[in-house]
Chains A and B, each alone.
Chain A
Amino acid sequence: MNAAEAKDMFRERARSRIPLTGAAIGSGISTKYVLTGGADFILSATGGRFRCSGAHSMGAFFSMGNTNDFILDFSVREILPRSENKPVIIGVSPNDPHCDGDAMLALIRDCGFHGVNNFPSIGFYDGPFRRALEKSGFTFAREVEFLRKAGEMGLFTLAFVYTPEEARQMAEAGVHAVCATQQTPADSSPAIRAGLNSRESETRYAGIFRAVEASAPDCVRLFYAGGAIATPEDVDAMLQNTDSHGYIGGSIFERFPTAHAVEEITGQYKKIIRLTHENKALRQELIRKKGFDEIVGQSRLMQDLFDVVNKVADKDVNVLVTGESGTGKELIVKAIHYNSKRQNQPFIKVNCAAIPEALLESELFGHTKGAFTGATNDRIGLFQLADKGTLFLDEIGELNLGMQAKLLRVIQQRELQRIGSDKFIKLDFRLVAATNMNLLDLMNAGKFREDLYYRLNVVSINTPALRHRKEDINLIAAFFLRRIADKLATSGNWSMPWRARPFSARIR
């Protein structure tokens, strides 16, 4: 589309009364998405760039840089390349003392802009300050003349006006479109916007449109949405109630939705990461409570042991924990369970040495009512209770060969029959066994089945005795002292030696 086609498009839309939507924006990304949303034209303005910088768009009126250099820089690099053949109008100020108006217009045309606009306009100011500016040579008349020349050069011209008088001047200069605007806090807080009255804007804009129509009936009449006109419904009402052909939006497209979306999405990410973190922290706390941090030691042997536990915990393999009594086998087994995927499932411990042989089968596999004398009810066995979780068989070396055979079958088949039942029950459990006996010796002596041994011993972990890790003694002593101290602090009704020396002796 060239400038002439842009003019035709505006004229045709005004004639057909299909409202024009213009987007006053300041970045490439805004250009892309307002066009996807259906904007009919782009007004590249420094106010938009200020918004995108997180600054207030009114900054565009103050001495923070040269507005014309600023707008040309990002409009050429970001906005024109993404304009998808829609008209792009650039807002420049002919009041810039360094600006040669003719050269500026030639540059604008050569860069490929379809039209030009007077932003930031002197019309923004009012009162004595405005009069002082006018007397100092910063005049609205200069803007009128600039747009008149732009039109003569073939560019589309869009004039921002704040009063009916300014509208009249621009219309008489032959601009193609006039946009009625006002000094409203277009991108201020919702609280400020709530205090604005859209009827006031309506009256003001209607006065401007009347002035335009009286001077140039063919001139396209637009209004600037913002301030009290902040929603699609507000815009629609303004279109219905005024004699306008469309509108231009800045903050309503570029700032309000972006601010909301960025805030919302960031919050969602933050929330989920925080929840994950909290969840992890809670899991760690649980693990600490259930054994892992009770395993005390910094020695090389213990570091290796922690490594193995960490590596094996999440693998669904059988583990055999060996070691002398009192070396912490059960703590290791718990650590494996609570660091595994099954940590939220049952952890069932069976001490094979503590259950009488006659009862062991029933305890492990369960029974049906009447399966044997005294079986007055159905009973679920410990294997079944451990379904989806971990079954810990302590003192596995104490099992007799008969039980070993039955156990082997359950481990291999992952199914069992309750005593007295002919039904097979499928199970999913992880088996960890522990013993203080040397299973190899038992195997050689024919007291432990070889096939069961290799089934259990997929991974073997040995818990070292304290005599093999003397460097841990201080730590372990401190650990127990801390426990004793905690107990003393919370227990108030036992005979306490209240003097230091007997107290020390007691601790010793």
Chain B
Amino acid sequence: MPFADANDIVLKMGAALARPAGDTPLLAGVLATDQFRIMDTFIDRLRRAGYAGVQNFPSIGIVSGRVRTLLENSDMGYDCEVRLIKKASEKGLFCSALVFGQSDADAMARAGADMLVAHLPLTEDGDMQEWDAASSAFPARLRADTPGRAGVVLAAGFVGGVRACGECPAQYESLRHAERSFAEGRA
């Protein structure tokens, strides 16, 4: 939402967090579709601010409907985030990629992401059962289909925030189910 400059905030947070973080890696959430910054130089600034890596956050992956189509057709789509991860990876930063489906995961893996964070579709009321059904085997399948990644973390979108749920349990039924839910969400 257009109420703050996300990248400016994260840059300033770097200065505040780097010292308390100590040896714990600090990742910067970067709005890759920022039209007023050159990502190449911005990544360098993040590194100087104390960040060890980046993540594509806020991501347009959670935007759905006609607006999402519009963004994808206007060079403000998910591809901007893939380019961010590629550039950061080339610069040697740790790259955590929020992915919303298998095609996102493939693109991010090719771009050099060190970790894929499987982000499930938004649940409108935070109902875990609904989310469990939607999530299926997405992370497990990601691990199988995009080998060589350091780790896969499952995250779920809730109204009011995103909660990281740690390593995915194996009981999810199928990746197809999750992707179908995701596609429906987009439409």
Interface residues, chain A, with chain B CB atoms under 8 Å away:
46, 50, 53, 55-56, 58-67, 93, 95-98, 120, 124-133, 135-136, 138, 183-185, 188, 192
CA–CA, A59 to B31, complex, Å? 11
List, in ascending order, chain A residues with CB within 8 A of B33's CB: 59, 62
Are the CB atoms of A55 and B36 closer together than 8 Å? yes
List, in ascending order, chain A residues with CB within 8 A of B186's CB: 127
Among A50, A58, A59, A138, which residue has its beta carbon within 8 angstroms of that of B1?
A138
Shortest distance in angstroms between A481's beta carbon and chain B's nearest beta carbon? Answer: 52
Given A129-B63, A185-B74, A188-B73, does the pair A53, B36 have CB atoms closer than 8 Å? Answer: yes
Are the CB atoms of B2 and A124 closer together than 8 Å? no
Among A56, A61, A184, A188, which residue has its beta carbon within 8 angstroms of that of B2?
A61
Q: Which of B40-48, B117-125, B142-150 contacts A (4 or more CB under 8 A)?
A: B117-125
Q: Report 16 cross-chain contacts, Cβ distance below 8 Å, ordered by A residue.
A: A53-B35, A56-B76, A59-B35, A62-B31, A62-B33, A64-B2, A65-B2, A65-B5, A93-B2, A93-B3, A125-B65, A127-B185, A129-B63, A129-B68, A135-B159, A188-B74
List, in ascending order, chain A residues with CB within 8 A of B6's CB: 63-64
CA–CA, A130 to B186, complex, Å? 11
Q: Identify which of B3, B7, B8, B62 gathers the most chain A CB atoms within 10 Å of its CB.
A: B3
CA–CA, A128 to B62, complex, Å? 9
Shortest distance in angstroms between A382's beta carbon and chain B's nearest beta carbon? Answer: 68
With A58-B74, A63-B7, A64-B35 already in contact, 19 other A-B pairs whose C-beta atoms are closer than 8 Å: A58-B70, A59-B33, A62-B1, A62-B33, A64-B6, A64-B7, A64-B31, A93-B3, A96-B3, A125-B65, A126-B64, A126-B66, A126-B67, A127-B67, A128-B121, A129-B63, A132-B124, A135-B160, A184-B70
Are the CB atoms of A66 and B124 closer together than 8 Å? no
For the complex of A and B, 10 pairs with smallest distance between CB atoms: A127-B65, A55-B35, A126-B65, A127-B64, A63-B6, A67-B2, A183-B66, A59-B35, A65-B5, A135-B159
Count how many chain B residues have C-beta atoms less than 8 Å from C-beta atoms of the other chain.
Answer: 37
List, in ascending order, chain B residues with CB within 8 A of A93's CB: 2-3
Shortest distance in angstroms between A64's beta carbon and chain B's nearest beta carbon? Answer: 6
Shortest distance in angstroms between A99's beta carbon and chain B's nearest beta carbon? Answer: 8
Shortest distance in angstroms between A238's beta carbon and chain B's nearest beta carbon? Answer: 20
Among B3, B34, B185, which residue has its beta carbon within 8 angstroms of that of A128?
B185
Given A53-B36, A63-B1, A95-B1, does the pair A129, B122 have CB atoms closer than 8 Å? Answer: yes
Among B31, B65, B121, B159, which residue has its beta carbon within 8 angstroms of that of A136?
B159
Shortest distance in angstroms between A190's beta carbon and chain B's nearest beta carbon? Answer: 13
Are the CB atoms of A46 and B2 closer together than 8 Å? yes
Given A55-B36, A65-B2, A96-B3, does the pair A127, B187 have CB atoms closer than 8 Å? Answer: yes
Are the CB atoms of B185 and A192 closer together than 8 Å? no
Kindly identify, within residues 37 to 90 of chain B, every residue whose CB is under 8 Å from any CB belonging to chain A: 58, 62-68, 70-71, 73-76
CA–CA, A59 to B7, complex, Å? 14
Given A63-B5, A64-B6, A183-B67, does the pair A128, B122 have CB atoms closer than 8 Å? Answer: yes
Are the CB atoms of A130 and B36 closer together than 8 Å? no
B165 at the interface (CB under 8 A from A): no
Are the CB atoms of A124 and B74 closer together than 8 Å? no
Are the CB atoms of A58 and B71 closer together than 8 Å? yes
CA–CA, A286 to B141, complex, Å? 73
CA–CA, A41 to B6, complex, Å? 33
Given A55-B36, A188-B73, does the pair A98, B124 have CB atoms closer than 8 Å? Answer: no
Are the CB atoms of B76 and A59 closer together than 8 Å? yes
Are the CB atoms of A64 and B5 closer together than 8 Å? yes
List, in ascending order, chain A residues with CB within 8 A of B160's CB: 135-136
List, in ascending order, chain A residues with CB within 8 A of B70's CB: 58, 183-185
Are the CB atoms of A67 and B3 closer together than 8 Å? yes
Q: Can you list, as one digit per residue, whether each of B151-172 has a CB less than 8 Å from chain A (1) or not (0)?
A: 0000001011000000000000
CA–CA, A126 to B67, complex, Å? 7
Given A63-B6, A63-B58, A136-B160, does the pair A56, B35 have CB atoms closer than 8 Å? Answer: yes
Q: A54: nearest residue on chain B (CB-CB)?
A: B35
List, in ascending order, chain B residues with CB within 8 A of A60's CB: 2
CA–CA, A65 to B70, complex, Å? 21
Q: A99: nearest residue on chain B (CB-CB)?
A: B3
Are the CB atoms of B73 and A185 closer together than 8 Å? yes
Shortest distance in angstroms between B77's beta carbon and chain A's nearest beta carbon? Answer: 11
